[in-house]
Homo-oligomer: A and B are copies of this chain.
Amino acid sequence: MIITENRIMLKKERQAQIIKQINLHNKVLSSDLSLELNVSEDTIRRDLNELAQENIIVKVHGGALSKSYNFTATQADTYAYNEKNIVAQKTISLFRDGMTVLCSGGTTMRVIATQLPENLNITFFTVSPLIALELAEHPNAEVILLGGKLSNSSKISVGGEVVSKINEIKADFCILGINGFDQDGISDSDYEVVQVKKAMMKASKQLITPIISEKLNSTLRLQVCSLDKVDYLITELSPTHQILESYQSKVGYIL
């Protein structure tokens, strides 16, 4: 590849180049990009991580793949399946007949949906078409899908319509799929998704955040809420585990 003799390349510009390469070849190696774009592999790796965080590409060891290499998507579904399964079981233990639950998307939520016991009689509101479909398999669950513009990155309904619809709901639990979680609270990378999550929290009596420990202590650009809004922090670890210690006093309960 012949490089256009740019002395200075802006970060955004470089990332655009990367995306172009990925769309073209379906894959890129960090080493190649480093050479082509005249920056260190570290920088490339940081770029790839950012793009992956924004759901634009899929980062793998040594480079990145285009998302349409959709094999990785299915794989991500099962990624850390055991951990997510434990989280799901703990979450389900909070459910009671007759409850109303408002939930977002995410793979952990998906595991919850599939693990849901048949006899449970719950009304679910969700902004995620995928979760809605999973839940619809359950004979005793009533599923209400909250519609709106579908966010390309997160695959959930976003926009004013959804938010105002959510405001009409009064749910027992809000279950949020978490992307960023640290001492400062819950964070996310997409503005519209944040608006929806905020509305969901407000519409619910209690907030449940199921999350695998691996994702703890990660921060994204936009804040969703602070820790004191979290009623249940659910991980696959024992509640007394050392990693969770710093959260003990800040959230309602740890399961």
Q: Report the copy number of this chain in the oligomer.
A: 2
0/1 string, A114-142, CB within 8 A of B gives 1: 00000000000000011011011101001
Q: A75-B54, A133-B155, A155-B136 are in contact. Are A147 and B144 (CB under 8 A)?
A: yes
Q: In terms of DSSP, what is the predominant structure of the interface of chain A?
A: mixed
0/1 string, A206-243, CB within 8 A of B gives 1: 00000000000000000000000000000000000000
User: Chain B's nearest CB lies how many Å from the CB of A237?
Assistant: 22
Choice from B16, B19, B149 contacting A143 with Cβ under 8 Å: B149
6 A-B pairs, CB-CB below 8 angstroms?
Answer: A13-B65, A56-B75, A130-B133, A136-B152, A147-B148, A147-B162
Binding site for B on A (CB under 8 A): 1-2, 4, 6, 8, 10-13, 15-16, 19, 25, 27, 29, 32, 54-56, 58, 60-63, 65, 68-72, 74-75, 78, 81, 129-130, 132-133, 135-137, 139, 142-150, 152, 155, 157, 162, 165
For the complex with contacts A1-B2, A147-B157, 7 further pairs of A-B residues with Cβ separation under 8 Å are: A6-B27, A8-B29, A12-B69, A13-B60, A54-B78, A145-B147, A146-B147
